[in-house]
Amino acid sequence: MPARKNAKSIYEDFNKIVANPVRQIKRLRTGAVRIIGWVPTDVPEELIHAAGALPIGIVALDNPAVSRSAPHMQAWSCSLMRCALGMALGGSFDLLNGLIIPVICDTTRMVTGIWKQTKPYVFMDNFLLPKQIDRPSAKDYLIGEMGRLKARLEQFMDRTITASELCESIKLYNYNRSIMRKLFSLHTCHPELLGNKDMYNIIKTSMLMPKELHTNMIAELLQMLEKKVDDNKSGGKKYNIRLLMSGKVWEPPEIMNILDSLGAVSVGDDFCTGYRYIANDVPETGEPLRSLAERQFSRLPIAAFAGKCGDRTNSIIRMVGETHADGVLFVHLRYCEPENFDYPMLRDDLSASGIPNFRIETEIGGLPVENYNEQIKTFIDSLGGGV
Amino acid sequence: MIESPSFKTTNLFKRMMAEYLERGVAAKEKGIPIAWVTATFPVEIIYAAGLFPYYPENFGARIAAKKVAAAISAAAEKQGYFPDLCAYARCGIGNAFSIKRPVGEVLKPDVVFCSNAQCGSLQKWFEAAGRYYQVPFFLIDTPLIENTPTTLIKRYIVDQLHELLDFLELYTGNTFNFSRLAEVISLSNEACRLWNEILEMAALKPAPFGYFDACYHLAPIVAWRGTKWAVDYYKELKKELEERLDNKVYVIPDERYKLYFDHIPVWPRLRWFSNLLLERKALAVASQYTHAWAWRFDLNRPLESLVKNHTEVFINRGYEYRLEQKISLMNEFKVDGFILFSNRSCKPKALGLYDKYNIISERTGLPGVIFEADMSDERYFNEEYIKKLFGEFFDRLEREST
């Protein structure tokens, strides 16, 4: 298949979408399509897609919007949610037909009530994920909760979601994830061809675009990049350091630019908007709601969920080994309690395993971006890197 | 500890609390497992299984009331825990790393049980404790009940209680004793009934008992619920209150205003707030916090009943339900105004209060005030700001009541 675009122009398309999510929603609403937004993380988008609506992740943020939420949310609460609510209050999401908020922490648990009060949409739903994931009760409950969400979507969309439609959506999403994993693998081997910012924007835009279109674009991109590798045209900038990243989200996005400028490649992460989003698929056999639940329980562990099989320390240490990372960079949002509770023991366990690690604290629309360059550079220098 | 010398029962409380803590230490020495539990965990099951339940939240409140939360928290902060985490958690963790322990040492757990009905902070704190002390961690996960409890959620939690019974049978090596559970639940019922009757006395005008007294006498309904101790204690307290009524002894004899105080108190400032209100002859009389333990269990359906009471608690409910419950308490106690506490340590209670302030004002027409502070940590307490805010509130209260 001949490439219609070059890689650079595809990256630019993605960058534009991430830079202006409001314009993107406007573009998507040109047809009769209904758009249902979802707040990170772990909302089963396949269900929304199978219902005939377009799922859009609230993952591209407009920092100045944070201040609009001040009359409604305490300044000492999560800036990710303050920003999302602020954007809604400013009208950024007026074209959404609905919104799903998963309860993954105390802030997401409470923000729905505030949102419903201050900026209601026709369809709003709390997706109530189980927090314990080891015991059989959790799986039975989650299948039931998936069924509940399915029934609500069916009612809202005035149609039935058949098992075969859901299976088709699962296949579509799995395929999209599988191509992104190939790109991620290429990114970790050839960051000079596919740098941090471009790779992570590919993941973010997959939450902001129709999956079919996104899949076509990244399939083209993959073909172009693989050809460059085959032609040995990888040249360019050297990346000397391999970092594993950990946190809720890779915000602010400038962090990826900083890594690119310092010659450090992110070889993996447990970000909800990063590799964790693409790391595993939904089984394509069996009852589809059960399969969606099965994917949830095999996702990379994050602070929201408790359990032995969700042991985050072991998961991070394993990923460091598998990716041959030189160290771990924690990117933590200020006031994020779940991350804060995990951090001291994670840090100590990594250090005890001889894995260098460093933490930066970020705040959307708050802490200045300028600080991060020096902090990350110091860490990278300590790993023997630097360009 | 907070001083409340006006109540004879205060001395009984101090004696019993000291004895309870000693019993915990003795239990540990005898090899009875110490089980950490959270305030809304179905502790009745833990008693019935023969374990000794211990409440780290109560320990956090005692540290706060002793005005040493910032110092204890510093030990946790030094380890990398941040000053924005729940202060109870910081104090519990801080105690583990402290050398100086002004309220004694937190009783080390043999097993950690947690319900996240109250918040996710407890889940994370107790999970961290399980790892730190290298003991099992068992979570009862309670999804938010936004409006009506669904069959799905009720079934999920009952399933988890069955898993808990399986866990306990393996852990203790004994078959679970449902007869003992019935006895414990009966004791919980009796304590809850007495506690409710005591709280209702604040509706009298003038009242012999108010919200700040309730905060002082709250520990038994949390920490001893399911024991004869709690029943005996509240019988004594109720008897004393009835004597007060007979002798016309009131908190504020010329009580002018009744107020709703939302949430937990600022523990190190309990007396300070009580006096602030007293100066204007105002008595805080009701709160979702103190009324959260007015439970009634059904002995015929023990597990379902434990699920219903412990998971349908206000803190695990949606925005509108909680708003309605606040207003309902305001109506029941015929209050003249309301106080909302935006507590940095408690996001599930604080988030949403800014809008709720406006809605309550609109729906009730009552004057109100909302203030920022932390329930434990005085580093977040600005005395001048609160005095000014409350001064304006009381002026409005006086204007609107004349």
Query: Which residues share a beta bridge with B343?
Result: B373
Query: Which residues share a beta bridge with A242?
Result: A265
pLDDT score, position A307: 76
Average pLDDT value for residue range A75-84 = 96
Name the least confident of A22-36, A125-139, B196-210, B313-327: A22-36
Q: What is the ipTM of this complex?
A: 0.95
Question: Token pair of B89, please?
Answer: 């958690």
Count of alpha carbons within 13 angstroms of residue A218, beta-carbon side: 30
Say yes or no for a CB contact (<8 Å) between A128 and B344.
no
Write the CB contacts of B189 (distance below 8 Å, at least 6 apart in sequence).
B295, B296, B297, B299
Contact assessment for residue A326 and residue A356, using Cβ atoms and an 8 Å cutoff: yes
pLDDT score, position A56: 97
More confident residue, B389 or A384: B389
With CA atoms as reference, the chain B residue closest to A139 would be B156
Contact assessment for residue B343 and residue A77, using Cβ atoms and an 8 Å cutoff: no
Write the CB contacts of A153 (distance below 8 Å, at least 6 apart in sequence).
A36, A47, A48, A51, A53, A161
Nearest to B355 among A105, A117, A148 (CB): A117
Residues of chain B with pLDDT under 70: 1-5
With CA atoms as reference, the chain B residue closest to A131 would be B141
Average pLDDT value for residue range A292-308 = 92
Contact assessment for residue A52 and residue A30, using Cβ atoms and an 8 Å cutoff: no
φ, ψ dihedrals at B142, nearest 5°:
-120, 95
Say yes or no for a CB contact (<8 Å) between B141 and A136.
no
With CA atoms as reference, the chain A residue closest to B136 would be A308
- At B127 the three-state DSSP class reads helix
- Region of residue A91 (phi > 0: left; psi between -120 and 50: alpha; otherwise: beta): left
The answer on pLDDT for A234 being more than 70 is no
Residue A243: name the closest of A225, A226, A233, A256 by CA: A256
Confidence of residue A386 (pLDDT cuts 50, 70, 90): low
- Region of residue A247 (phi > 0: left; psi between -120 and 50: alpha; otherwise: beta): left
Say yes or no for a CB contact (<8 Å) between B139 and A132.
yes
Distances (CA, A) of A384 to A246, A357, A380, B171: 21, 13, 7, 49
pLDDT score, position A1: 47
pLDDT score, position A309: 58
Write the CB contacts of B257 (distance below 8 Å, at least 6 apart in sequence).
B280, B281, B282, B283, B335, B336, B337, B397, B401
Question: Token pair of B195, please?
Answer: 């506690």
The answer on pLDDT for A329 being more than 80 is yes
Name the least confident of A2-11, A277-286, A365-374: A2-11
The answer on pLDDT for A236 being more than 90 is no
Question: Token pair of A269, please?
Answer: 């992460």
Which residues of chain B neighbour A358 with C-beta distances below 8 Å?
none
Burial class for A41, CB neighbours closer than 10 Å (0-12, 13-18, 19+): buried
User: Considering the entire predicted model, what is its pTM?
Assistant: 0.96
Count of alpha carbons within 13 angstroms of residue A351, beta-carbon side: 9
φ, ψ dihedrals at B237, nearest 5°:
-65, -40
Question: Token pair of B265, please?
Answer: 């108190």
Shortest Cα–Cα distance, B90 to chain A (Å): 10
């058949």: which residue's tokens? A162
pLDDT score, position B147: 86
Contact assessment for residue A268 and residue A325, using Cβ atoms and an 8 Å cutoff: yes
Question: Token pair of B264, please?
Answer: 């937990």
pLDDT score, position A2: 47
Residue A51: name the closest of A146, A144, A141, A169 by CA: A169
Question: Token pair of B84, please?
Answer: 């924005």
Mutation for testing the A interface, residue in B319, B346, B360 having most A CBs under 10 Å: B319
How far, in Å, CA of B344 to CA of B373, rounded? 6
E strands present in B179-281: 257-261
Mean pLDDT for chain A overall: 94
Average pLDDT value for residue range A28-42 = 91
Mean pLDDT for chain B overall: 94
Confidence of residue A32 (pLDDT cuts 50, 70, 90): confident
